Amino acid sequence: MISVDNSAEKRVFHLIEKENEPNFIKFKNEIIESIKNKNYSNLGTLKDDEYAKQFSVFIFYEKIQIGISKITNSIIKTQLESLDWFKVLVGSFEEIKELIRDNEYILSRRYIVTDFEEYKDIFEDLYEKQLSGNKKLKKQFFNLFENINVCPYCNRNFVNPIYKENSVGGDNKNQSPDIEHFFPKSIYPFLSLSISNLLPSCAFCNKIKSDVDTFRENCLSPYEIKNGDFRFDFTLDLNQVKKVKLISNTNCKNSKILHLESLYNTVHSKYINDIFENDLKYTPKNKDFLDKFKILTEEDYKKVFRNYYKEEDFNKQPLSKMTKDLYNQISNLKSK
Ligand SMILES: [Zn+2]
């Protein structure tokens, strides 16, 4: 699990029709400022501006109001009407978590016994039509994550979208990674279009995570995960990594749900053992080897480990977190 930026700037995306006009840029900055200051009522006044038609937050807002008006169950409908929808759509991860806490008794699958399906279907449909099936907006959504090459859940698979002018066979010109709902839309339909609930992910993680109730199961979203919330730990032996463990400092269940430990053990321990074999010639008593780590610069690290050194770059290349944790563990050995 790799941390992903959840700042206000990363919660605003839009069509590109007039994006170079100075007034458009000013308008966009006002949206971002309002989000930063949690001034959601100001978004209510901005929604009638001519540029508003280009912004996902206002497009979604309008369609959601129409969706809510179709709901026949009066309890669900009243609760949905009472929500601050700008907060639901562009609030921070912490804010949407609060929204679950405040509304789960009426708006989550666990507690609704009647008419849940109607409510869920309306929001599924909104998500399909307004984002996942809306080519232009979907492309802009993925542009928010242009610095992220690798699935933030597993740090194993690439998630870059492909946009091609022509395609051999069929009309599969554009291919995107999956859009993953951290809190499943099948349990919390009202968060179907909330930006802080959405992340690009590999198909594998999206599938394996599926309908797990991440709110109840104590999982951490890449939007909230912090340095040191978990780390890889290695059982080191002569010339070999025997076992890879994934240790969580917060008792979060991400590794268990995503089967990360077993995946890393069965598939990726080979990769780090190859580094051991080819470059490190590691033995615990090898003084030269341990001394080498005392002088390892960022550039040296890149050469030896063939990966990024800084945490902010971990989303750029697969297995970067595991590789860095291996380095940290070995370099700690030298001081013992
Ligand atoms: Zn993944």
What is the whole-number distance in angstroms between the Cα of residue 284 and the centre of ligand 1?
33
pLDDT tens digit at each of 336 positions of the chain: 899 999 999 999 999 999 999 999 999 999 999 999 999 999 999 999 999 999 999 999 999 999 999 999 999 999 999 999 999 999 999 999 999 999 999 999 988 778 999 999 999 999 999 999 999 999 999 999 999 999 999 999 999 888 766 556 655 556 788 899 999 999 999 999 999 999 999 999 999 998 999 999 989 999 999 878 999 998 877 667 778 888 888 888 898 999 999 899 888 888 878 776 666 655 555 556 656 666 678 888 888 788 999 999 999 999 999 999 988 887 777 555
CA gap 193, 9 in Å, rounded = 17
* Cα within 13 Å of Cα(134), Cβ side: 20
Distances (CA, A) of 320 to 23, 25, 129, 148: 41, 36, 36, 13
> For ligand 1, a single-atom ion, which residues have Cβ within 5 Å?
151, 153-154, 202, 205
What is the whole-number distance in angstroms between the Cα of residue 100 and the centre of ligand 1?
25
What is the whole-number distance in angstroms between the Cα of residue 200 and the centre of ligand 1?
9
CA gap 252, 176 in Å, rounded = 29
Q: Are 283 and 289 within 8 A, CB to CB?
A: yes
Residue indicated by tokens 């806490």: 101
What is the whole-number distance in angstroms between the Cα of residue 208 and the centre of ligand 1?
9
What is the whole-number distance in angstroms between the Cα of residue 254 and the centre of ligand 1?
12
What is the whole-number distance in angstroms between the Cα of residue 261 and the centre of ligand 1?
13
CA gap 173, 308 in Å, rounded = 32
Neighbours of 10 (CB within 10 A): 15
What is the whole-number distance in angstroms between the Cα of residue 294 and the centre of ligand 1?
34
Buried residues in 67-87 as b, exposed as e (16+ CB within 10 A)? bbeebebeebbebbeebebbb
What is the whole-number distance in angstroms between the Cα of residue 151 and the centre of ligand 1?
5
What is the whole-number distance in angstroms between the Cα of residue 201 and the centre of ligand 1?
6
- The DSSP result for 299-329, as a single string, is HHHHHHH-S--SGGGGGGSTTHHHHHHHHHH
Q: Are 123 and 192 within 8 A, CB to CB?
A: yes
| DSSP code, position 223 | T
DSSP helix/strand/coil, 187 = coil
Q: For the whole prediction, is pTM greater than 0.85?
A: yes
CA gap 241, 236 in Å, rounded = 5
CA gap 71, 259 in Å, rounded = 38
CA gap 260, 232 in Å, rounded = 10
